[in-house]
A and B are shown apart, each in its own frame.
Chain A
Amino acid sequence: MRSPSPRLSVIAVLLYAFIYAPILVVIVYSFNASRFGAGWGGFTTRWYEVLLENAPALSAAKSTLLLGIFSTLLSTTLGTALAFGLARFRFPGKAWANRLLYVPVFIPDIVMAVALLLFYSLARQWFGLFELGLTTMILAHVTFQIPFVTIVVRARLAGLDPALEEAARDLGANEIQTFWHVTFPLIAPGVIAAAMLAFTLSLDDFVVSFFTSGPGATTLPILIYSSVKRGITPDINALSTLIIIVSFVATLATTLLQRSQKYKNLKSER
């Protein structure tokens, strides 16, 4: 095949510049000494110092992490079990279960968010349950995480050699022993990848959190949204830059980890 023509290369570079422009702008402006507007007032790191004294931002960071960790633990457990059940057993209504699984993947965020808001408020009215707060956000996040976990783990299960499990059974292992000593170690990389994906989805979510959070619990995306609505301040650019760096490093580390895992697997197979 021919290498790209100069004209095609120029177009491609411009498109890359286009998708990176917003990120670069936020990073550059986090060092802008000018407090108001888009004018450039010189270089400063002052906004990072201001950010460290910003108590709401620190507490939002804490809530975001707690939300991510708890929802990921729950959804990874439930989603992995569901993937195993769907891959190994047949039951009536399975076709519908599969369809239900894809609903959160395609449904508009906002529809899911208002549906949960309505559900929580009805439950509160009738049973006194689900006061809006961190708990309701965790429950909501688990709901959209489960399908992604299940889809990723199921793909891993589908690629598994059934002879390995059969061998364990033939050697006298019961079903639970087979699962813990044979199946689970084999699908573990898939489970870890699924958990990472679930965690990222939780950190990234704004719309569902916005509708299911209470007055006491704010996440970083909600904090950024309300700040932007009031008018962008430089310390929000600093906060966003930190988020950009953390998510960039975390995703890069995950990708490299999975690569080295794959490489190890390849080597051990030989």
Chain B
Amino acid sequence: MNADPQTNDRSLTGALTRNGHWWRSALTSGPGLAWLTAFLLIPLLAIVTISFLTRGEYGEIERPFTFDNYQRLLGFGLLGFDPLYPTILVRSLILGLTTAGLCLFAALPLAFFIARLPGGWKTAALILVVVPFWTNLLIRTYAWQILFSSESWLCRTAQALGWLSPGTALYPGFLAVLVGMVCDFLPFMVLPLYASVEKIDWTLAEAAVDLGANPWQVFRHALLPQIIPGLSAGWVLVFLPATGQFVIPDLLGGAKTTMLGNLIQQQFGPSRDWPFGAAISFVALLLVVGGLWLRARNAPEKDGGLM
């Protein structure tokens, strides 16, 4: 995802320097851009449009134009304030934040571990982080259903230790969703973090130790500032997709763990309220765009080439 230098000079875009670039561009870039316009841009505009329309009696999409869908999402429905939808919105954000936080917590030791391995082992250890990702997410997710069911050795051990009441399972529930999420998104945090840890100037840490800093102070003042770029790249790569995740909450969570993604699926599926589903989708889209914009604004250094 490295941005190439040619796309970065904005001053040059829009200015045709050689004649004949028009038809060359049309022949090369044309079909691809036309495809993305037809199957991506127009569908997204259609989503935005119907999010201001109303659901008909049989699930059809009707006028009048209205902001009702957005008001409903904020909790102001026909029957006064209803916290159902705002709760789901907040819950999704909390899930995204917790996932990113836990991934960071787990990725830090892993990144330092890999960076300290000798040469050839480093590559092997990095590949080992990515390998599970080659397997379909559905498979990796439903496996936790087996691991977290009440007769599994994991739950039996927990029951025997008295951490779980006998016969109960860890699935479905928020904890199961969280474990599934961290397990899935961990590589996205480890890789950018490792890239930063690998570049650390360790003499700064040595200097801090010589000056009498304790391990926490060394980490906080000598190491942390150096890995901020990797940290923020990893945060974006985990938090944004985690907030909109649909499969993991769907397979590992229950009715109490409905997230934005599940809500969208319900509206386009069983509930057949497409305008409301479109409004939720638009909000999810705005969340992502807002997140990327914030990062682009606060990251003046051209580090990861994320955008």
Binds B, one of A19-27, A46-54, A186-194: A19-27
Complexed CA–CA distance, A102 and B36 (Å): 11
What is the CA–CA distance of A102 and B288 in the complex, to the nearest angstrom? Answer: 12
Residues of A within 8 A of B137 (CB): 204, 206
Interface pair A91/B25, CB less than 8 Å apart: yes
* Interface status of B94 (Cβ within 8 A of chain A): no
When chains A and B are docked, how far (Å) is the Cα of A21 from the Cα of B154? 11
Q: Which of B103-120 contact A (CB under 8 A)?
A: 106, 109-110, 112-118
Given A3-B118, A111-B47, 19 more pairs with CB closer than 8 A: A21-B143, A22-B132, A23-B140, A38-B152, A81-B27, A81-B31, A82-B33, A85-B27, A86-B6, A90-B12, A102-B307, A104-B40, A106-B292, A119-B43, A142-B35, A143-B40, A158-B6, A225-B247, A243-B139
Contacts of A203 in B (CB 8 A): 136
The segment from A8-16, A164-172, A260-268 that touches chain B is A8-16
- Tell whether A95 is near chain B: CB-to-CB under 8 Å: yes
B residues with a Cβ closer than 8 A to A are 1-2, 4-7, 10, 12-17, 21-22, 24-25, 27-33, 35-37, 39-44, 46-47, 50, 106, 109-110, 112-118, 128-129, 131-132, 134-147, 149, 151-152, 183, 186-187, 202, 240-241, 243-247, 251, 261, 264-265, 268, 274, 277-278, 281, 284-285, 288, 292, 307
State whether A107 and B32 are in contact (beta carbons under 8 Å apart), knowing that A206-B247, A247-B136 are contacts in the complex: no
User: Count of A residues near B, CB < 8 Å?
Assistant: 90
With A37-B149, A108-B244, A247-B135 as known contacts, state yes or no: A84 contacts B183, CB within 8 Å: no
Determine which of B28, B114, B134 lies in contact with A247 in the assembled complex, contact meaning CB atoms within 8 Å.
Answer: B134
Query: How far apart sit A20 and B198, CA to CA, in the bound complex (Å)?
Result: 24
Q: Which residues of B contact A158 (CB under 8 A)?
A: 2, 4-6
Give CA–CA (A47, B219) in the complex, Å. 52
Q: Knowing A111-B264, A158-B5 are in contact, say whether A15-B106 is a contact too (CB < 8 A).
A: yes
Residue of A nearest to B198 (CB): A1
B307: nearest residue on chain A (CB-CB)? A102
In the assembled complex, the CB of B144 is this many whole angstroms from the nearest CB of chain A, namely 6
Is the beta-carbon distance between A8 and B113 smaller than 8 angstroms? Answer: yes
Cross-chain contact B139 with A240 (CB below 8 angstroms): yes
Docked complex Cα distance between A142 and B39 (Å):
9
B128 neighbours in A (Cβ, 8 Å): 16
A88-124 interface bits toward B, Cβ cutoff 8 Å, 1 = contact, 0 = none: 1111111101101111111111111011111100100
Q: Assess the B143–A95 pair: CB atoms within 8 A.
A: no
Contact A100 B40 (CB under 8 A): yes
Report A193 CB to chain B, min CB distance, Å.
14
Instruction: Please give, as numbers and ranges, the residues of chain A lying within 8 Å of B135 by CB-CB distance.
Output: 23, 243-244, 247-248
Query: Within 8 Å of chain B (Cβ to Cβ): is A68?
Result: no
- Min CB distance B58 to A, Å, is 14
* Residue from A78, A86, A111 with most neighbouring chain B CB atoms (10 Å): A111
* Nearest A residue (CB) for B135: A244
- Please determine whether A94 and B14 come into contact, CB atoms closer than 8 angstroms: yes
Given contacts A12-B110, A19-B183, A23-B135, contact A111 B285 (CB under 8 A): yes
User: Once bound together, how far apart are the Cα atoms of A12 and B151, in whole Å?
Assistant: 28
Partner of A8, one of B25, B112, B241: B112
> Is B110 a contact of A111 with CB atoms below 8 Å?
no
Q: How far is the CB of B307 from chain A (nearest CB, A)?
A: 7
The CA-CA distance from A140 to B36 in the complex, in Å, is 10
Inter-chain CA distance A108–B241, complex, in Å, is: 6
Task: Assess whether A72 is interfacial by the CB under 8 Å rule.
Answer: no
CB pair B116 A248 closer than 8 Å? no
What chain A residues lie within 8 Å of B251 (beta carbons)?
A: 225, 228
* A232 adjacent to chain B (CB < 8 Å): yes
Q: Is A73 located at the chain interface by the 8 A CB criterion?
A: no
Q: Are B268 and A150 in contact (CB under 8 A)?
A: no
Distance between A250 CB and nearest chain B CB, rounded to angstroms: 8
Write out the residue numbers on chain B whose beta carbons fall within 8 Å of the beta carbon of A85: 24-25, 27-30, 32
A/B interface sample: 12 pairs, CB < 8 A: A4-B112, A4-B116, A19-B186, A22-B144, A25-B147, A100-B33, A110-B264, A115-B43, A116-B39, A151-B1, A206-B247, A221-B136
Closest to A98 in B: B7
- Tell me whether A127 is interfacial, beta carbon within 8 Å: no
